[in-house]
Amino acid sequence: MRRVIAIEFISLDGVIQAPGGPEEDPSGGFAYGGWAAPYDDDVQEALLQKQLRLPFDLLVGRKTFDIWASYWPHHADRWPGINAATKYVASTTMTSHDWQPSVFLSGDIAEHVRTLKRQPGPDLHVYGSGNLLQTLFKADVVDALWLMIHPLTLGEGKRLFAEGTIPAAFKVTESTVSPTGIIFVHYERAGAIATGSAGGE
């Protein structure tokens, strides 16, 4: 079964908006676009390159797709496989695009994703797409979180769990700290939440 993996640059206070640059997503008057750039280092680059070379299809929201469609077709040397990957796009208005292969999903997005997960193919990687993620969290279809936690707080902006999520336990399967302080951590779903008392009594 295919997994849905949310891959996010994130601040300590949970913001995922516009890590890449000032023009990426200034919606809501967000003033800190490009906040991740000062933390770039060789460890980050090596880990990102390893990640980008995994087999994958994309599952993204319309805004993320619009940003990427203007950039990645011309920079595929940096991301092998990006053009060949199927781009599944959640959109109520867009039905086609020159950047192929692309499939546009409308209506019950959660049910579309459940169907995709049952089909053969590589895992579905979700980047950015804050609004789409809220739908996926509520529907309990996210299987893993691959986070790049940056050592800063932003105080405003779109957050990873903006609308909450269901109770769930996770386990850490991989973690690294870069020289600039980015925590790279992979969380995989680990069943239901276990409870106990302090001291193990």
Is position 200 within any domain? no
**Angle 31-37-38 from CA coordinates, rounded to 5°:** 100
Alpha carbon 99 to its chain centroid, in Å, reads 20
Mean pLDDT over residues 12-40, rounded? Answer: 95
Owning domain of residue 150: 4-193
Q: pLDDT per residue over 57-95, tens digit each?
A: 999 999 999 999 999 999 888 888 999 999 999 999 999
Decide if 126 contacts 136 (C-beta within 8 A). yes
- For residue 54, tell me if it sits in a domain: yes
Q: How many domains does the chain have?
A: 1
Q: What is the CATH number of the domain that holds 26?
A: 3.40.430.10
Measured between alpha carbons, how far is residue 161 from residues 13, 84, 111 in Å? 10, 30, 20
**122 is written with which tokens?**
């590589």
Whether 62 is in a domain gets the answer yes
Q: What is the pLDDT of residues 148-175, one digit of tens each?
A: 999 999 999 999 999 888 899 999 999 9
Structural domain includes residue 142: yes
Among residues of the chain, what percentage have pLDDT more than 90? 83
pLDDT exceeds cutoff 90 at 178: yes
Predicted confidence (pLDDT) per residue in 104-114, tens digit: 999 999 999 99
Res 6 pLDDT > 90: yes
Q: Does 199 reside within a domain? A: no
Q: What is the pLDDT of residue 85?
A: 96
